[in-house]
Structure 1
């Protein structure tokens, strides 16, 4: 994961007036650095999240960088709008009349630094969303819940470098 230090920003938020807003959180039994690496190694998302079939980052994890990804059969181009290393990552993108803003926040889950509290919130707006916000809210809730589950599963999986005998 390459970070461009001059490209950090701390001001991106969801659209608080969007017809669909979903917020979820999960506690993961892995240090924040491990969770951060999984979120920012965008090209590797399909390796651990079966709901994402492709993901390609065009450059460093930095404000203004774009990535192309496919989820639920939808091709999306997203632009990173905030990077606070180890703490916050946010992007926006649109597909098929839905404009989304997704913000991830990581905090230590305990005083030992061995767990992470992951909070994520996403807003959807656009004409398509205004036509049937309840159905789309259900789809987004299911997608975020699944993503968090996959993230937890991957982060909590012991790898040879983290296994201590």
Structure 2
């Protein structure tokens, strides 16, 4: 979440179990971090639009670049 972004707010330190609120299409969604690995992985989950979503991002360093691998699943 970008610092100063009015559409997102983290509710504590960046660690497993911390929630954050974010807005999309006029709706506020609360998600919770389930994975936080410094500089390599972050993942969160929570209800959204009548379903349950899981997001996982992995940051892969390739030389002087970083590739972001994104996985998402939803049910409901």
Q: TM-score, normalised by structure 1?
A: 0.43
Which structure features the higher share of helix residues? 1
4+ runs deviating over 2 angstroms: 42-46
C-alpha displacement at 1:73, in angstroms? 2.4
Larger Rg: 1
- Residue 66 of structure 2 is aligned with which of 104, 116, 125? 116
- Residue 93 of structure 1 is aligned with which of 43, 46, 64? 46
Question: Paired residue for 2:29?
Answer: 76
Q: TM-score, normalised by structure 2?
A: 0.89
Which structure features the higher share of strand residues? 2
CA distance in 2, matches of 1:66, 1:75: 13
Structure 1: gaps (5+ residues): 1-41, 47-52, 127-165
Relative contact order (C-alpha < 8 Å, sep 6+): which is higher?
1
Query: C-alpha deviations, 1:57-97, integer Å up to 9, x for none?
Result: 00000000000110122311000000110000000011231
Pairwise CA RMSD of aligned residues?
1.6
C-alpha displacement at 1:43, in angstroms? 5.4
